[in-house]
Amino acid sequence: MRRAAVSIISNIAEGYESQNNRTFIRYLFIAKGSAAEVRAQAYIAVDQGYITQENFDALYQLTDQTNRRIRGLITYLEQHPTGPILPTHNP
């Protein structure tokens, strides 16, 4: 479960660094898959008694929220295929 959770942010970062919206979107879909994997593993964990129902509910909510946010970013990128990926930050 920990590896799948780390995979979410890792894929987002790797896709972002591509500096190409099409590639970024591909990595975002992989990140969504990793969030779904965390959710599936949470079902197993609660069924096996490794986590409480309260922990499961919190984890489910977080993975659902993560998936919705990633989907929103995908939608934005699909609607702006030639625009900037994200605002730049100039320190």
Task: Concatenate the DSSP letters of all residues of 17-65 into one string.
Answer: HTT-HHHHHHHHHHHHHHHHHHHHHHHHHHHTTSS-HHHHHHHHHHHHH
As given in the structure block, the two tokens for residue 9 are 């942010």
How far is the C-alpha of 29 from the C-alpha of 41, rounded, in Å?
18
What predicted TM-score, i.e. pTM, was given to this entire model?
A: 0.84
Q: How confident is the model over 63-86, as a mean pLDDT?
A: 87
pLDDT in tens, 5-41: 999 999 999 999 988 899 999 999 999 999 999 999 9
Report the amino acid identity of residue 5: A
Helix (H) or strand (E) holding 16: helix 2-17
As given in the structure block, the two tokens for residue 41 are 């593993």
Residue 54 has pLDDT above 60, yes or no: yes
**CATH class of the domain whose range is 2-79:** mainly alpha
